[in-house]
Structure 1
Amino acid sequence: MPGESPTALTTTGEPCAGATEVDRLLARARAGLRRLAPAEAWAAAGRGAKLVDTRPEHQRRAAGEIPGAVVVERNHLEWRLDPTCEARIPEADSRHIQWIVICAEGYSSSLAAAALRELGLSNATDVIGGFDAWAEAGLPTVRPARPTTPRGPGE
């Protein structure tokens, strides 16, 4: 994230001396996740896990998208993936789905995955390094003429 201290977390994910409160929040969120490398996420999607891209349109327009990923903007994520919520998307029909959240660099996705786990979606996780790492790993991306429209209730 812009302005983030590159040394705010140790190699084990613990906050360093001088870490900010958001660094501590991120460390707590990640402590409950088994985060996936991009290739692991791609393999999990091949086995039925659902990739959910929370990046805003301007980031997807600039960098591209992952084919087959469900696009849900971050501010709607919990409502769209909660299987008990009337505003959910059809794929969100079980607490047992493995949702793999992806953002640009792997920071907000960790916070989002932790929030999903608090909703009871115990298989939620995220991608280490986000879309940037995904693309750098040479995994599939597309650049549609128009970015995919985020999913709404029942869509």
Structure 2
Amino acid sequence: MSARRGPVTPVGIDELLERVRAGYTRVDAQEAYAAWSAGALLVDIRYQALRERDGLIPGALVVERNELEWRLDPTGSHRAAEATGHDLRVVVICNEGYASSLAAASLHALGLHRATDLTGGFQAWKSAGLPVVPGSEPPTAAPRP
């Protein structure tokens, strides 16, 4: 039997985002690229229609948001091969940098203490002129600089 908690005080999404983002340091597009170049795992959580419309980041692991925790938990039975340990540096990327903040906080709760997200999301990456391939191409591992 689980312990019953008291009533939860409602919080708006803006306050929730502020709270979770205070728990880690977010990165901009250039910092995400540098982290990837140094071995970090980029994880694209955008849904398929956005990936098809806007393109893909070569070398990023595509994991839709509803599967993220199962695929990145290094102790889970459904983990991705890339989920090698709790010390893994992960940069979560959504479309504009909102859902990825909540996703990064969820990864922290799983013990992935180096997880972060990309401020501005995929749109910031693309605007920075960083590598993007058409969304119709299957994601492939791009050589790291």
Structure 2 portions without partners, runs of 5+: 1-10, 140-145
Match of 1:32, SS state, is: coil
Count the aligned residue pairs. Answer: 129
Cα distance in 2 for residues equivalent to 1:100 and 1:136? 17
- 1:9-24 equivalences under 5 Å are 21-24=12-15
Task: Say whether the 8 Å CA contact 2:54–2:135 is kept in structure 1.
Answer: no
Picking from 35, 54, 64, the partner of 1:44 is: 35
What corresponds to 1:98 in structure 2?
89
Question: Is 1:79 aligned to residue 77 of structure 2?
Answer: no
Picking from 61, 82, 88, the partner of 1:70 is: 61
Cα distance in 2 for residues equivalent to 1:92 and 1:129? 24
What corresponds to 2:120 in structure 1?
129
TM-score, scaled relative to structure 2: 0.86
Q: Identity of aligned pairs, percent?
A: 54
What corresponds to 2:3 in structure 1?
none
Cα distance in 2 for residues equivalent to 1:21 and 1:87? 32
Cα distance in 1 for residues equivalent to 2:118 and 2:84? 22
Matched residue type, 2:64: E
Structure 1 portions without partners, runs of 5+: 1-19, 149-155
Q: CA deviation at 1:146?
A: 4.6
TM-score, scaled relative to structure 1: 0.80
Q: CA deviation at 1:147?
A: 5.6
Cα distance in 1 for residues equivalent to 2:82 and 2:137? 23
Q: CA deviation at 1:106?
A: 0.2
RMSD of the alignment, in Å? Answer: 1.1
What corresponds to 2:51 in structure 1?
60
Q: CA deviation at 1:33?
A: 1.6
Q: CA deviation at 1:132?
A: 0.4
Matched residue type, 2:100: S
Q: CA deviation at 1:91?
A: 1.0
Matched residue type, 1:91: E
